[in-house]
Structure 1
Amino acid sequence: MRIYPGAKFNLEKTEIIPIGTKTHRDRVIQTRKPNRLEPPLNDNIRIVPDGHPVRSLGAWIGNKTDNTTPWEPVLNNINTALKRWKNGHPTLDGKKLIIQMIVGGMTQFLTKAQGMPKNIETALTKIIWGFIWDNVRTPPINLEQLQ
């Protein structure tokens, strides 16, 4: 790795995602060398193995990562926020605005940066449905009419 004069890396925050073939990625992780000619990387630098995403500018990147992993904390935050809002007993119009603000606000950037898996979309629909209709079995109108 070439270091330029005056450039300093915070080694505790530096993470490297090896790219290339599986064999090459495994070799980089085992030897800590980006290529055979370079010396091993500093021990403080984390080399990210396959299946472990790294957050970079709000998006989660990595090799062979599960695209639902970044969504788990978002779903938890949405559930927590909606439970708090439910305590205020909002009207149907109020619930609509809360959904737009909470669900829309918490999902918009990650959806744009990462995309939204179908199972997450389904989970969000269920969360919204439960919030709007107070988890009743048979709501007064169907989902298509509500939308």
Structure 2
Amino acid sequence: MSVLDKVADYFTGEASRNRNTSIIAGLLFFAGWWVLIDAMSIDLKHQITTGHVFIGIFGTISFCMVNAVKGEHISEENSSESGARIAKIWLLVGFLMGFASIIAAIWVMIDDFINNEKKEGWFGVALLMQNVFILFASLIYKFGRNEEEWNE
């Protein structure tokens, strides 16, 4: 078996769905932060402030909150009614934080960067791209994996 066949088998095997989903989500999460770090590295006028970075941190916290809840925690088969309710509220707050970070990034992009002629608009786009990548990574990691393989 050649190396190319082993690589193809690695990505198409039985348990490859969780692995591939995790790789894609990790790359999207990395790309999101990479875009903002790259924008900050070429920002000589310090147009991106700490407040702008906190929007991405907010999205990262959302990523952790959403993916901390297993599917069995929110299912109807959960024996603890209050535990299922708390897990659903936790998941809702996590999704709200993720979408709020997108809304905040759009707001900052339009208000601070596009409507301000003294600042370059690309930095606002970088901030928005960061948060979109983080939210997509969160959604892919949450809904792309198969949790049944872990319950065996």
Give the TM-score, by structure 2 length: 0.32
More strand by share: 1
Does 1 or 2 have the higher relative contact order (CA < 8 Å, sep 6+)?
Answer: 2
Q: Which has the higher helix share?
A: 2
Scaled by the length of structure 1, what TM-score is found?
0.33
